[in-house]
Amino acid sequence: MSTAVASARSNVTNLQRLVPNWAWMLIALAVALLYPYILDQLLAEPDDLLDASIQTLAYIIMALGLNIVVGFAGLLDLGYVAFFAIGAFVMGWLGSQQFPDVAGGKGIHILTPSQSAFGSDVPGIHVNFFLVIFIAALFTALWGVILGAPTLRLRGDYLAIVTLAFGEIVPRIFENATSGIFGIGSIDFSNGRQGITPIDKINLPWTDEKFKYPLELKPVYFVGLAMVVLVIFFNRRLRDSRMGRAWIAVREDEVAAAAMGVNLVRTKLWAYALGAALGGFAGVFLATYNNTVNVDQFEFGFSVLILSMVIIGGMGNIWGVILGAVALSMFNRYGLKQLNGVPDQFGLDFDVTSINYGIFGFFLLVMMVLRPEGFIPSGRRKLELHGEVDETDHLGAESDHTLYDVREDR
């Protein structure tokens, strides 16, 4: 069996060599552009699948963002949901009627229609989506630095738990900030558990016409795709940049990297900031697409879902992470629904969709035990994980795994 796998693998490699890298990207882009039309041709009801695909685009962006923190810089972040939450709330604040009293009830409008279809004023702050994504990215990047700064001295599992705690605190603060924050002021930031809804639809800056999702999904799909392409470009440039090499050096060996002149604080904070920025970027998109910003979305399971995408795809490898995000997100949004009838056939009464996180937990477990480097591993990490198989069986591992070593360095 292993020879069959090996020959299949070499076939794939041969095929890869046949066509240059940029051509593969063009092909992928062409397929992605034609995808909604292909669905139209193949399916009678393409909207379900297209809806799942649009959500998937946002998940790809988030997985790539988390990949900067976990995959490139080697900082295990279990609280990524915080940045999704912050980004989504920025959209909620800048693109809804959450603050009806601004500008004397007339509202603030930047590149958005200032009057409703009936000619009346639209209260609240309304900034064009294409501005909000960048505002939110900046804002979440700032928060990435603020939340990242205290964790700089921690490593390994202590770092993971602290980020997890941040991921739990941020949504709690939003949930309770219905009358100022910590009792200061009296502005309602979040509507509590109800959440902010409706959220402005996307409109192109040069026209007042709003997109009509969920009735018409293709335009919003293309907006999401454009964002993904931008993020992939950004990620590839980052990975090959001076900063990207510094991240990998820090991941491999902090002490050695510092000795070689890498500024640890700046390197790590940039990883947090850029990873967080992508979370905010995608958060804005999901907020307007789902038409709501609700604290119930911001649970620990979400962080783990994104982390699963990164791990299952292959930490540190951009294409692997994209594959992981597409596979898990489509499975979550579309595949599981198709399986809902299965327990019934065994005489069990539950929906498969309700235990989706359990299924992802199972994937994580199996993946970590059987193939910890992910489906498409980055070359370096593969060596790391399989290089020391021959080492004698020893526990507690005071070994060379400095990358993951637990102790806070003080």
Q: Contact positions toward other proteins, by CB under 8 A?
A: 76, 78, 150-151, 153-154, 156-158, 160-162, 164-166, 168-169, 172-173, 175-176, 182, 300-301, 304, 307, 311, 350, 354-355, 357-365, 368-369, 372, 384-385, 388, 391, 393-398, 401, 403-408, 410
In the complex, least distance from residue 387 CB atom to other proteins, rounded to whole angstroms: 11
Select 45 or 393, whichever has its Cβ closest to other proteins. Answer: 393
Least Å from the CB of residue 269 to other proteins: 15
Q: Which is nearer to other proteins, 289 or 331 (CB)?
A: 331
Residue located via tokens 């002490």: 255
Minimum CB separation from other proteins for residue 155, in Å?
A: 9
* Closest CB to other proteins among residues 291, 402: 402
Residue closer to other proteins by CB (options 35, 357) is 357
Rounded-to-integer distance, Cα 270 and Cα 275, Å? 8
Integer CA distances (angstroms), 378 to 247, 293, 333, in order? 14, 35, 27
> CA-to-CA distance for 55 and 53, rounded, in angstroms?
5
CB of 263 to other proteins, least distance (A): 18
List alpha helices for 188-335, DSSP H.
Answer: 218-239, 242-252, 254-259, 264-290, 300-313, 318-330
CB of 311 to other proteins, least distance (A): 6
What is the CA angle 143-145-147, rounded to 5?
A: 65
C-alpha distances in angstroms, 230 versus 222, 226, 247, 392?
A: 12, 6, 21, 46
Q: Report yes or no: 192 and 178 within 8 Å, Cβ to Cβ.
A: yes
Q: Which residues of 257-290 are buried (b: 16+ CB within 10 A; e: fewer)?
A: beeeebebeebbbbbbbbbbbbbbbbbbbbbbbb
CA distances from 97 to 151, 187, 296, 402 (A): 36, 13, 20, 50
Shortest CA distance to 331 belongs to which of 307, 314, 316, 353? 353
What is the C-alpha separation between 3 and 18, in angstroms, rounded?
22
Which one, 13 or 340, has the nearer CB to other proteins?
340
Q: What is the largest CA-CA distance in the chain?
A: 77
Residue number with CB closer to other proteins (203 or 308): 308
Minimum CB separation from other proteins for residue 164, in Å?
8
Angle at 153 between CA 173 and CA 275, to 5 degrees: 55
Considering beta carbons, is residue 9 or 407 the nearer one to other proteins?
A: 407
Task: Select 100 or 150, whichever has its Cβ closest to other proteins.
Answer: 150
Residue given tokens 């491999």 in the structure block: 252
For the bound state, the minimum distance from the C-beta of residue 57 to other proteins, rounded and expressed in Å, comes to 25
Contact 259, 93 (CB under 8 A): no
Nearer to other proteins, 33 or 169 (CB): 169
Contact 61, 285 (CB under 8 A): yes
Integer Rg of the chain from CA: 23
User: Do the strands 125-127 and 108-110 form a parallel or antiparallel pair, or are they unpaired?
Assistant: parallel
Minimum CB separation of residue 235 from other proteins in Å reads 21
Shortest Å, Cβ 80 to other proteins: 13
Question: Min. distance of Cβ 298 from other proteins in angstroms?
Answer: 13
Q: Smaller CB distance to other proteins: residue 97 or 176?
A: 176
